[in-house]
Amino acid sequence: MRLNIRVMGKRFVYRYQDWRSAVRRIDRTQIILMIGLTLMSIFMLLPLVYLFNHAFKPLHELLLFPPTFIVREPTMQNFTDLLALSQNTTIPVTRYIFNSVIVTVLATAGMVFTGSLCAYPLSKHPFPGSRWLFGAIMISLLFATEAIAIPRYVIVQSLGIMNTYLGHVLPMIALPVGVFLLKQFMDQVPNELLDAAKIDGASEIKIFLRIVLPLVTPAMATITIIAFQNAWGNAETSTLFMQDDAMKTLPFYMGTLTSNLANSVARQGAAAAGALIMFLPPLIIFLIYQRKFIATMAHSGIK
């Protein structure tokens, strides 16, 4: 018995005996492992399913107890209410979205660029005190955001960048975890490869841009995901450094939908729609770079 399969114009022939031998090679442990991983993946998808269903629930379903997981009467009224709320204010929601897009793109590019520039000399051009500097960068991961809020505010105010896009981007541009990932990947790049490029007359900038960065693409994709998520969901810069409402971002606006209201039930539908809007861009970015992200976790940056 043969099974003919045609993919992309090519014909593949599988015999029944081949399928049977392949099934026999799967032992009981592998079957249990596959079933367990499948159940775990379904469990991990439940919050996503709930978030999508929650955004399309009418108000009476949002307030049900016990809450329902699947929406029964889907509606777009929550998104309509979200847009209607901004029409009653001086700043439309499109302005907040525009600010978030500009800040997220600039901050993500800045975090990836500065992280790679910092990791390269630490990895390939060690200097006296480079280990101490790298250790200080790792220690900075331990600091809570609240602990450095006042120094950051003083610096931003001293630079005169309050109520500007630079005031959003500059406090977020340092990403210690990005420096760590990129340095670990750059350490795997053979020094002999860089020496060969120098012998061929390549400059340091050309080596960095054309040899090192392409080899650490998985790490850069992972940093892009982390940086995008941090920048897109950041409301701290809008709260601390922006007094002008026209310069604030979408996360700050979403946080004001249900805050300071005497009736906590009001605007719950708009808040549910806003939560979905806030979640979609990071999900899309992750789906785009998921293969590179998995390659980073598997330490397969250099083959």
Express each pLDDT in 246-269 by its tens digit: 888 988 888 777 665 545 566 777
Average pLDDT, the chain: 80
Task: Output the DSSP codes for 41-106.
Answer: HHHHHHHHHHHHHHHT--HHHHT-SSPPSS-SS--SHHHHHHHHHHHTSSS-HHHHHHHHHHHHHH
Q: Strand runs (DSSP E) across the chain, as ranges? A: 2-7, 10-15
Below-70 pLDDT ranges, the chain:
1-26, 86-89, 258-266, 292-303
**Who contacts 19 (Cβ-Cβ below 8 Å, separation ≥6)?**
3
What topology does CATH give the domain 86-297? MetI-like fold (1.10.3720)
Rounded Cα distance, 249 and 116, in Å: 27
CA distance 39 to 58: 30
- In this structure, the number of other CB atoms found within 10 A of the CB of residue 84 comes to 12
Q: Supply the pLDDT for residue 99.
A: 92
Cis bond leading into 121, ω under 30°? Answer: no
